[in-house]
Amino acid sequence: MENASNTHQGPNAALPGRLKEKARELGFALSGIAPATAADGFPRFRDWLARGFAGEMSYLHTQGDARRHPDSILGTVRSVLMVGMEYGERGQPPPPAPEEPTPNPSLKGGEPDLRSPDTARESEEALHAFTPSLKGGGWGVGASASSGRVAAYAAGPDYHRYIWDRLNALAAWLEAEAPGCHTEAVADTAPLLERDFARRAGLGWVGKNTMLIHPRRGSFFFLGAVLTDLELATDDPFLNSHCGTCTACLDACPTRAFPEPFVLDATKCISYLTVELRSEIPVALRGPMGNWLYGCDVCQDVCPWNRKRTGGGEGTAGAGGFPYDPEMARLDPVELLGLDATAFRERFKKTSLWRNRRPGLLRNAAIVLGNVGDERALPALERALADADGLIREAARWAIERIRQRISSVKSDSPSSSST
């Protein structure tokens, strides 16, 4: 017997397909529909919070129970449309992973079967590929403009605003096509376990690095959702992980932020440290940060599934996906240290980097300069010692001491000093 609630079946049987086509027109390369039932991953999420892995992200605790079911967002919800928008420099392959995966034809989708005879060697290769050496000047003395790296998702406009506009347009389209239905567009800030519903909607599986991975498009995409009280035909979920025996992401993490596969300790994650953490970054984690100024992509860069990204075909982004600005992908930390509050606001107000505000980003800039080790950064760091913000001053002091220690070490190791 048909449920008496608003199902909009019959003449609207083709609506799911048209909805996904509209999503593609708006730039969402991936789309799928999941039933609006309790989140499968909620018990794991609650355990993750209990283990203290959320750090200072108190809002995750505050909204914890709300993530149990999407009806906390839309009380009458029956279906969840999940969408994915690609970000990063499309058309350019990501940096190579430590080893080429060998496809196993017996596994659906050509799952990589990485049987590493020497996991330690792979880990060392990955760390050398994505963490700069501080010997002999770090990242090229004199090339400070390229020494501060920004995660790909932040190298463009504020993704919250960009995706919100398109999700709201998608929700408005659905309401126009099915008069009387109710919708709610959500992106990032709502209490929804996005990856859980994206997996159930057929967008991919959750990898060992906790990122959602699509077999053709990898993991470089944002997730968004449109909740509705329409009962729409759902897509087949991804039931299993296709990471195989690969541990490239776990081995390559500079700060060892994965205590076990599929679990991230955010308090050690470079993205958390450089974006979410408002206090001083633990000294033990500063060196492993390398030249990451805002966010981190290491565990995605080394993923074999990101090397297999193909694009095109089904699910091609209609509007080209998220705008990528290569000039924002590399920022000069010396220049950043010279920005006052007004200049900082003018430059970053409409970007994701605004989230960290001036104290956080300049703190990160000082740490990057300390890791680079170029003594020509000392004047900028010394000026930062007079900054009104204590967070910036502390990071500048640390960086100055680190650079001076390096200079002293280089001098003591030089042939002239050893011969005297």
Annotate 365-411 with DSSP letters as a single string: HHHHHHHH--GGGHHHHHHHTT-S-HHHHHHHHHHHHHHHHHHHHHH
Q: Is 188 a catalytic residue?
A: yes
For the chain, state the CA radius of gyration. 23
Catalytic residue among 71, 158, 188, 389: 188
Q: How many helices (H) and strands (E) does the chain have?
A: 18, 9
Which sign does the torsion angle of CA 253, 258, 264, 265 carry? negative
For residue 350, give Cα distances in angstroms to 25, 157, 172, 234, 281: 24, 6, 25, 36, 25
CB 66, CB 191: distance < 8 Å = yes
Using DSSP, state whether 350 is helix, strand or coil: coil
Q: Are 29 and 217 in contact (CB under 8 A)?
A: yes
- What are residue 148's DSSP bridge partners? 331
- Amino acid at residue number 401: E
DSSP code of residue 22: H
Exposure pattern of 112-149 as b/e (b: 16+ CB <10 Å)? bebebeeeeebbebbbeebbbebeebbbeeeebeebbb
- Please identify every residue annotated as catalytic: 188
